[in-house]
Amino acid sequence: MVETGFKAPEKEERGETALKQFLESGAVRNFTEEWHKEGYTKAGVHELLTELHVRFSGDEKRTIERAGEILSVLKNIDLGKFKIKPEGLLKGLKNILGGQ
């Protein structure tokens, strides 16, 4: 079977539904609040969770664990020296994680 890189519409819809349910879950709500207290924006945390959720094929536990690890590392780095805009940082993370 040849893979074209395109998902069937029904698989894509299921993935979007699973992602939406994940992002609205209590675990994500608590995780987002926890990291918001550390100075991260809720939108930024959700964007990271979205990217990792796709990368880990919907494995919610692994997604939250890995996001926590990444945010812990980033909180100890002074990004001001690099004058990185949030969009640039997110693009860099996507590249590191193998995304587009």
pLDDT in tens, 49-87: 999 999 998 899 999 999 999 999 888 877 666 555 566
Asked if residue 3 is part of any domain, the answer here is: no
The answer to whether 28 touches 64, Cβ cutoff 8 Å, is yes
Asked if residue 1 is part of any domain, the answer here is: no
Asked if residue 40 is part of any domain, the answer here is: yes
Length of the chain: 100
Asked if residue 5 is part of any domain, the answer here is: no
State the residue range of the domain holding 44.
13-97
Q: Long-range pairs for 30-35 at CB < 8 Å and ≥24 separation?
A: 31/64, 31/67, 31/68, 35/68, 35/71
Considering only residues 100 and 92, tell me which one the structure prediction assigns the higher pLDDT.
92
What predicted TM-score, i.e. pTM, was given to this entire model?
0.67
Asked if residue 8 is part of any domain, the answer here is: no
Distance, CA of 78 to CA of 35 (rounded, Å): 17
Asked if residue 6 is part of any domain, the answer here is: no
pLDDT digits (tens, 9 = 90+) for 36-58: 998 889 999 999 999 999 999 88
Tally of domains within the chain: 1
